[in-house]
Structure formats: C-alpha cells, structure tokens
Amino acid sequence: MTAILHTGDPERGVLWQGVFAEQMPEVQFLCSPDAGALQDVRYLIAWTLDAGLIARLPNLEVLFSIGAGVDQLDLSLVPPHVRVVRMIESGITTTMVEYVAMAALMLHRDIPFYLSEQREGRWSHADVLLCSERTVGVMGLGELGKASLQRLREQDFRTLGWSRSGAEIEGTRCYSGDEQLGAFLGQCDILVCLLPLTDETRGILSRELFTRLPRGASLINVARGGHLVEPDLLEALDSGQLRYAMLDVADPEPLPAGHPFYGHPAIMLTPHIAGVTRKDTAVHSLIANVRRALAGEPFEGEVDRQRGY
C-alpha cells in the first residue's frame, strides 16, 4: 500500500491521519517512522529533515514541505530524483496578508516611536500622513507577495513590486532583476521582504540595499532571517538611514537572549508567526497534491531544485 509519512508536531499528525482516513483511505498515513513499513513510503511531509530517516526511505518520490519555504529542508540529504513541493494553502496566505497589512500600518503610523515615548513617559507627536502618501514596495511577487500587495492597495497605500522575472499586477508598478532594483528601492518608504532564501537572496537586506532606499524608510522582513545582514540594519537605524524595522524572522531562531534587537527602540520583533500553516486548511492542500501525484498531474507549488524555490 502507498504510504505518506508525517514528521513534526504529533498533534497535527493525528488530526491529519483522521482526515486522510476519511478522504483518501487508499493512502496510509503514518504519524511516525515506527508506525508502518517504510518501504511503502512514497511521500514525506516535513518541516526539517533527519539524514537517518531519509536513508530509511528507499521508495521516496515526493517531499512535501509543511511551510511555504523550503530552505529549512536540507535538500542535500534528498536524492536528486525526489520532487520537492512547497505548501500553498489559504491559512498561510491569509495570516501573512494580515501580518503585512498590520506591520505596514504600524510603521506608517509611527507606532514604534509612540511605544518608546510611552515607556519614557513622554506625550509627543509625529507627522501624520495618509496611506495614499506612502509607498510600500514588496520584494518577491509570488503567492504571498501578490496577496499582500492586494491588501496594501485596498488600504490605499501606493504600491510597487520587484521580482526576478517581473509580473503584471493591476494597480502595482512592477520591476524586475538587478538592473531595475535601484529604481524600485529609490521609491519605497516601506520595504517588505517576501523572497525565498536562496544563494542569490541570502544577505540581500544589506547596507548596500539600505543606502538605495529613501532616507527614513522602514523595513518589514517576513521572509527569512538569512536575508538580513544584522550589523548593517543596526548601522542603518542608528544613522537614521532607516527609521524602523519590523522583523518576524531571525537567524538563528530563537534569537539568543541579550541580542541587541530585543531592546532596540526602532525594532519590533515577532517570533516567526507572520504566516502560519493552519492544520485545518493545509491538510486539504496536501491531499489535493497527493491526488495529483497519484494521477501523474503537475503539483501546485513544485520547487525547482536548481533555483532553490
């Protein structure tokens, strides 16, 4: 019998096992490697990988990521013929869109400034602009970047997008590639990073990039901690080149105790909760993709292993 093996959160495993039993009884759902015959496992769903486990799955065909990103999976452990599929599901998209909208509004309305004024017992004002007077630029125009831009437009922000190959998005001017990065950055009052972490994008949020933003711009990083060069962010905030940063991701996670980001008045931190894989919705995306695998149809969210996303 064909089997799918789930690793990670045991509570989620038990819940998904029940859904598979009802909706896809032809595929055995294993909640742990000891729960069945590993030679039957053709599909693995995981957040991170264990080298020992991969070696025990001789018939693995597809690795499904629990998350939208795949950089946390060490793909060097996975034989080249195994296909890799990222998670596209409404729970991640909805929570990410809500987070980006909230973060953009918080920075737009100077909430980090007011929080630190409150802590100092001061009652002072910053200038109030309209959303329509502020430009938000999103790096990465995939599933999450496009959905976030739609909400930002609905909030009346001026919006821009940037990606590798460019995109056509009504109401958002889009830029592509290294040649157009400067023109994009030069207009962003608030920059949102929604890129995958690859060899090309690691460290992209650096001094060089910050100096291309208008002075006093703010940063929202909801992608991966590895995109950010931490000392460059501290320098840009301290010099006034950047005004605020809202960071949902760090490297490593959790950020070690005593790290300068924790107490920095211009930085707001959240512990990687921007886009959350929802147990109740993600299982249906997984089932739809397993059906595609069985039918030999293309997956939703297949990763190009050469490109890294």
Nearer to ligand OXD, 67 or 226 (CB): 67
Work out whether 6 is an interface residue with ligand NDP (CB under 6 A): no
Query: C-beta of 28: minimal distance to ligand OXD in Å?
Result: 26
In DSSP notation, 226-271 reads GGB-HHHHHHHHHHTSEEEEEES--SSSSPPTT-HHHH-TTEEE--
Is 42 considered catalytic here? no
Residues 68-97 within binding reach of ligand NDP (CB under 6 A):
68-69, 92, 96
Quick one: which segment of 115-123, 151-159, 194-202, 208-216 binds ligand NDP (CB under 6 A)?
194-202
Residues 95-114 within binding reach of ligand NDP (CB under 6 A):
96
CA distances from 148 to 11, 87, 114, 259 (A): 30, 17, 25, 29
Work out whether 223 is an interface residue with ligand NDP (CB under 6 A): yes
Positive/negative CA dihedral, 161, 173, 151, 267: positive
Catalytic residue among 109, 153, 164, 272: 272
Q: Apex CA 202: angle with CA 197 and CA 203, to 5°?
A: 140
Is 109 considered catalytic here? no
Cβ-based neighbours of 250, under 8 Å, separated by 6 or more: 225, 259, 261, 269, 272
Quick one: which segment of 58-66, 76-84, 198-206, 230-238 binds ligand NDP (CB under 6 A)?
198-206
Q: At what angle do helices 143-154 and 90-108 cross, to 10 degrees?
A: 50
Whole-number Å distance between alpha carbons of 249 and 67: 14
Query: C-beta of 220: minimal distance to ligand OXD in Å?
Result: 15
Whole-number Å distance between alpha carbons of 190 and 224: 18
Work out whether 275 is an interface residue with ligand OXD (CB under 6 A): yes
Nearer to ligand NDP, 249 or 293 (CB): 249
Query: C-beta of 128: minimal distance to ligand OXD in Å?
Result: 33
Residues in the chain: 309
Work out whether 266 is an interface residue with ligand OXD (CB under 6 A): no
Quick one: which H or E segment has residue 291? helix 279-295
Work out whether 277 is an interface residue with ligand OXD (CB under 6 A): yes
Catalytic residue among 6, 151, 224, 264: 224
Burial class (CB in 10 A: 0-12, 13-18, 19+), 165: exposed
Query: C-beta of 181: minimal distance to ligand OXD in Å?
Result: 24
Residues 57-96 within binding reach of ligand OXD (CB under 6 A):
67-69, 92
Burial class (CB in 10 A: 0-12, 13-18, 19+), 167: middle
In the chain, DSSP finds a helix count (H) and a strand count (E) of 10, 12
Figure out which of the listed residues 41, 62, 169, 194 binds ligand NDP, where binding follows CB under 6 A: 194
Residues 249-308 within binding reach of ligand NDP (CB under 6 A):
249, 272, 274-275
Strand-pairing partners, residue 30, are 5
Residue type, position 307, single letter:
R
Judged by beta carbon distances under 5 to 8 A according to partner kind, the member of ligand OXD, ligand NDP, none in contact with residue 143 is ligand NDP
Q: Would you please indicate which residues are annotated as catalytic (active-site) residues?
A: 224, 272
Binding site for ligand OXD (CB under 6 A): 67-69, 92, 275, 277
What is the contact surface with ligand NDP in residues (CB under 6 A)?
67-69, 92, 96, 140-145, 163-165, 194-198, 200-201, 222-224, 248-249, 272, 274-275, 309
